[in-house]
Amino acid sequence: MTQSRLDAIREVIDWPRGSFARRRLTLEIEVHRLRQRMAASAAKRGLSVPHALQLRRKAHVRVLSVAEPVLMVAVGGTPRLWMVRTLARELRGRPAVFLLLLYWSAESEAAVSVFHREAERFRADFPDHALVFLCNTARERELFRAAGETAFFANHNMLVREDVFRPLTDVSPRFDAVYNAKLAVFKRHSLAALVAQRALVTYVDGVDMPPAASRAFFRGLALDGWGVVNPLVDGLPRPISPEDVNRAYAEARVGLCLSAEEGAMYASVEYMLAGLPVVTTPSRGGREVFIDPEFCTTVEPDPQAVRAAVDGLIAADIPREHIRASTLERLGAHRRQFCDQLGAFMQARSGLALQFEAVAGMPVTAPIADHLSRLKTR
């Protein structure tokens, strides 16, 4: 956690009034920051976590094939490919393919070089295993290929399930806008401050700030007028099911995308599959790939501009089924392109044919040992 990021957290949280509580919260934030810096430093110096402990860590993985293991894996953190190396150690001696989902923007030579260095070390240690980077933008693909990596333009939003996210005819809207965004500063919740009736679907992952700071951040959002959809447990929002997320979309008229940089942002396509028009700010990471100017408005990161865009899309009253149908058409074309790329790669490598039905759906979050168990029992 950088000093600027720490300062940003301090600006948005609802600080306790008592001096003791303020000092305690400050200490928790500083300790959280120190732990992250120590972990990053240890990784850079090659001090790895014991393999037995790595197997217990959670990763986002989807098994696509068992005959020759083909796994879709979300990558990032420090080291970037730690979860792939942990999986690969258990598959040593067997040909395997890892399709790597980049869950944060890598649209720079510096970002790609970090992945490339780790990929080179990986191939030296696991020569039977192939890495394919699934890039959220054409620019990312160009950068990875220029570095010598195998890379497809395969925006992760193609994985969003249209059978889950869809218009609900039995639900009436009661919010002007909904924002599906975790409790993190980069999500820039304050840009929606002038939207009169706004709903928040959220979660906490413990990466950006410690629990005490997350509670203070959440209190600030609740006091700022957000209608929080999630139930609360110990002062923090509890995750809700995809079906309940879709119902929250049905209760709103517009979906919000307010970060300046992240990954592809699954919620951006979830909104549109549910029939919502979208207000977005300019961003890096890939959410613009499926943004359609017919029912999506891109505005500068300014609360007044966000409110005006929300009001404009509400007034336009674009049919939800039309938004969904147009989005499905775009998704279909992107999925077919991905299938062609993956099919050609697998045929050239091993003669294995994969149908998109085997690829559709999100990676599952579970301990790595559980993913390996599923791989062995399928």
- Select from 318, 350, 369 the last residue of a domain: 318
Cα 213 to Cα 14: distance, rounded to the nearest angstrom: 9
**Could you tell me if 181 and 295 lie in one domain?**
yes
pLDDT in tens, 250-292: 999 999 999 999 999 999 999 999 999 999 999 999 999 999 9
- Select from 288, 318, 348 the last residue of a domain: 318
Mean pLDDT of all residues in 7-26: 54
- Following CA atoms 85, 61, 75, 356 in sequence, which dihedral angle do they give, to the nearest 10 degrees? 120
Query: Which residues form the domain of 11?
Result: 3-44
- Asked whether residue 162 is assigned to any structural domain, the reply reads no
Q: Taking the model in full, what pTM does it have?
A: 0.88
Mean pLDDT of all residues in 159-178: 97
The secondary element (H helix, E strand) that includes residue 104 is: none
Q: Identify which has the larger pLDDT, 146 or 218.
A: 146
**Could you tell me if 14 and 103 lie in one domain?**
no
Helices (H), 202-357: 211-223, 242-250, 266-273, 303-316, 320-350
* DSSP string computed for 223-260: HTT-EE-S-EETTEEPP--HHHHHHHHHTBS-EEE--S
Q: Which two tokens stand for residue 291?
A: 């943004």
Q: Which pLDDT belongs to residue 24?
A: 61
Q: Which pLDDT belongs to residue 4?
A: 47
- Select from 290, 318, 346 the last residue of a domain: 318
**Could you tell me if 281 and 203 lie in one domain?**
yes
Q: Which pLDDT belongs to residue 46?
A: 46
Q: Which pLDDT belongs to residue 18?
A: 56
**Could you tell me if 123 and 143 lie in one domain?**
yes
Q: Which pLDDT belongs to residue 39?
A: 59
**Could you tell me if 10 and 130 lie in one domain?**
no
Contact present, 106 and 143 (Cβ < 8 Å): yes
Backbone angles phi, psi at 134, to 5 degrees: -95, 105
Q: Domain tally for the chain?
A: 3
